[in-house]
Amino acid sequence: MAIHQPIDGRCAPALFALRRARFFEALGSAAAVIPAAPLAVHHADCEWPFRQNSDFWYLTGFDEPDAVALFLPHRPEGERFVLFVQPREASAEVWQGFRWGTEGAVAHFGADLAHPIHELAERLGDYLKGAEGIAFRVGKHPRVEPLVIAAWAAQLDRAPRNGHAALGLVAPDPLLHAMRLRKTPEELERLREAARISAEAHELARQVARPGLSERQVQAVIEQHFLEQGARGPAYGSIVAGGDNACVLHYTANNAVLQEGDLLLIDAGCSLADYYNGDITRTFPVAGRFSGEQRALYALVLAAQEAAVASVKPGFTAEGVHETALRVLVEGLVQLGLLVGEVDGLLEQGAYRHLYMHRTGHWLGLDVHDVGAYRLGEHHVELESGMVLTVEPGLYVSDRLPVPPGQPAIDNRWKGIGIRIEDDVAVHERGHEVLTAAALKSVAAMER
């Protein structure tokens, strides 16, 4: 009988080994405890489809819940990468599916040693003995945290007699997230694939959208494409927002009927089998023609987005990309009469925030809002080749936020227009690559 085993995470085991080697280097003589994600309850006794913790995935490629990875630089060769995993168990596998078990963890995932997860409490103290420090992220892993604290406390209790305990509990985040922020060529290839599928879905959505269809029917077209292409599904709750719904930044109800005369804002991207994500927003007229006001605001957001994308290059900063978009937006809003005053003053006062209330982008990778610092103290992190960020300015005209003192009341003809344009952009040696360029965005392409 053929045994149908999952393929996710078995690709390129050498890649995960390389990451672990770099993580060990960064750790120095501290041990690290990196937990997997648990299953999350959807309701009653039903669970959400499993989603691995990205730090754990990055270092192991192991796609099961209730596992813990130990990195033990103080141990002898052959005992440094230890996985605790759910053991093979026929009755559990009949209900929940295949598990690699401890043997699979060693044979296929490069673990030096593997144990059943229920032995973690009893073994953790011994494994951590002799480490100079313990890298563990407090506040995120409620089931593992008490075990780590107990193991460290026991070391501290014994220290007066044996003279040794880890000096401190440190966060692994700065080390690990600095690694994850800089993508390798293999990771860029996966992000290109996520971008390809996501861009195709946006092109399909624009072809089918028409007045009378519900937002959810358009969502179905997008997510069907993700699944057909072998992605796990949407990377985040797809936003399919007709008309004024687009002014709700995290609108995911997707249950309204598309109206003639409205714009449709779609913010959707897929998550691949190995968790790399796309994140694209496009906005277009439901019935194929912009109104004058819609066209003016669309052209303005597009100009801001293109200027911001053009600014992406090594040595610049995410803050600079935001400021680039913001200046174009505010200049245009003054020209359209939606803001009054001198541009520098408006920027300084934040007098545009009732129309543009979010940042212009974020890092993108295994998490949609990916890890990595944007600033270190007062210093904005400079863009480097291998970093990937979204560029996503928008304008949202509604009554939800008050018009700031001194700014004009908004004429009704502008209201209910919400526009965002979002691309995924990789920083390259000599500039950048727009990973999502296959999703069209020119004014002409948005009309039919």
How far separated are the first and last CA of the chain, in Å rounded?
Answer: 54
Compute the least distance from the CB of residue 422 to ligand GLY, in Å: 6
Helix, strand or coil, per DSSP, at residue 417: strand
316 makes contact, choosing from ligand GLY, Mn ion, none, with CB < 5 to 8 Å by partner type, with none
Binding mask 360-379 for ligand GLY (x = CB under 6 A): --x-----x-----------
Residue among 63, 66, 244, 267 flagged as catalytic: 267
Interface with ligand GLY, residue 223, by CB under 6 A: no
Q: Give the C-alpha separation, 418 to 339, whole Å.
A: 17
Residue among 358, 359, 380, 428 flagged as catalytic: 358
Residue among 420, 423, 424, 432 flagged as catalytic: 420
Contact 310, 228 (CB under 8 A): no
Binding mask 250-289 for Mn ion (x = CB under 5 A): -----------------x-----------x----------
Q: Which residue has the tokens 């399919």?
A: 240
Interface with Mn ion, residue 423, by CB under 5 A: no
Q: Give the C-alpha separation, 57 to 30, whole Å.
A: 20
Q: Give the C-alpha separation, 443 to 301, whole Å.
A: 11
63 vs 279, beta carbon nearer Mn ion:
279
Q: Choose, by CB under 6 A, the member of 187, 279, 370, 424 that binds ligand GLY.
A: 279
Compute the least distance from the CB of residue 267 to Mn ion, in Å: 4
Q: What angle do CA 275, 222, 234 make, to 5 degrees?
A: 25
Q: Which of 146, 190, 166, 152 minimizes the C-alpha distance to 57?
A: 190
Fill in the amino acid letter for 112: D
Interface with ligand GLY, residue 50, by CB under 6 A: no
Residue among 187, 244, 274, 422 flagged as catalytic: 422
Interface with ligand GLY, residue 236, by CB under 6 A: yes
> Residue 360 gets which letter from DSSP?
S
Compute the least distance from the CB of residue 268 to Mn ion, in Å: 8
Q: Give the C-alpha separation, 124 to 150, whole Å.
A: 9
| Residue 279 is a catalytic residue | yes
Q: Say how many residues make up the chain.
A: 448
Q: How far is CA 240 from CA 85, 115, 258, 269, 286, in A?
A: 39, 45, 10, 12, 12
Residue among 250, 342, 348, 430 flagged as catalytic: 250
Q: Are strands 388-391 and 375-376 parallel, antiparallel or unpaired?
A: unpaired
| Residue 115 is a catalytic residue | no
Binding to Mn ion (CB under 5 A) within 310-349 occurs at none
Residue among 279, 306, 370, 424 flagged as catalytic: 279
| Residue 250 is a catalytic residue | yes
Helix 101-109 to helix 13-27 angle (10° resolution) is 90
295 vs 359, beta carbon nearer Mn ion:
359
Residue among 64, 392, 423, 424 flagged as catalytic: 392
Interface with ligand GLY, residue 267, by CB under 6 A: yes
Residue showing the smallest CB distance to ligand GLY in the complex: 267
Q: Give the C-alpha separation, 225 to 197, whole Å.
A: 8
Residue among 306, 396, 423, 432 flagged as catalytic: 396
Interface with ligand GLY, residue 392, by CB under 6 A: yes
Contact 302, 419 (CB under 8 A): no
| Residue 118 is a catalytic residue | no
Compute the least distance from the CB of residue 63 to Mn ion, in Å: 25
Alpha helices in 240-351 (DSSP H): 292-310, 318-336, 343-349
Count CB-CB contacts under 10 A for residue 289. 13
| Residue 202 is a catalytic residue | no
374 makes contact, choosing from ligand GLY, Mn ion, none, with CB < 5 to 8 Å by partner type, with none
| Residue 103 is a catalytic residue | no
281 vs 294, beta carbon nearer Mn ion:
281
Contact 368, 304 (CB under 8 A): no
> Residue 383 gets which letter from DSSP?
P
Contact 149, 168 (CB under 8 A): no
223 makes contact, choosing from Mn ion, ligand GLY, none, with CB < 5 to 8 Å by partner type, with none
236 makes contact, choosing from ligand GLY, Mn ion, none, with CB < 5 to 8 Å by partner type, with ligand GLY
Burial class (CB in 10 A: 0-12, 13-18, 19+), 96: middle
| Residue 119 is a catalytic residue | no
The answer for residues whose C-beta is within 8 angstroms of residue 135's C-beta and 6 or more apart is 27, 30, 31, 32, 33, 71, 169, 170, 171, 172, 175
Binding to ligand GLY (CB under 6 A) within 306-365 occurs at 362
112 vs 203, beta carbon nearer Mn ion:
203
Number of residues that bind ligand GLY (CB under 6 A): 7
Q: Choose, by CB under 5 A, the member of 245, 324, 390, 436 that binds Mn ion.
A: 390
| Residue 267 is a catalytic residue | yes
61 vs 242, beta carbon nearer ligand GLY:
242
Active-site residue list? 45, 250, 267, 279, 358, 362, 369, 392, 396, 420, 422
Instruction: Give contact residues for ligand GLY (rule: CB under 6 A).
Output: 236, 267, 279, 362, 368, 392, 422
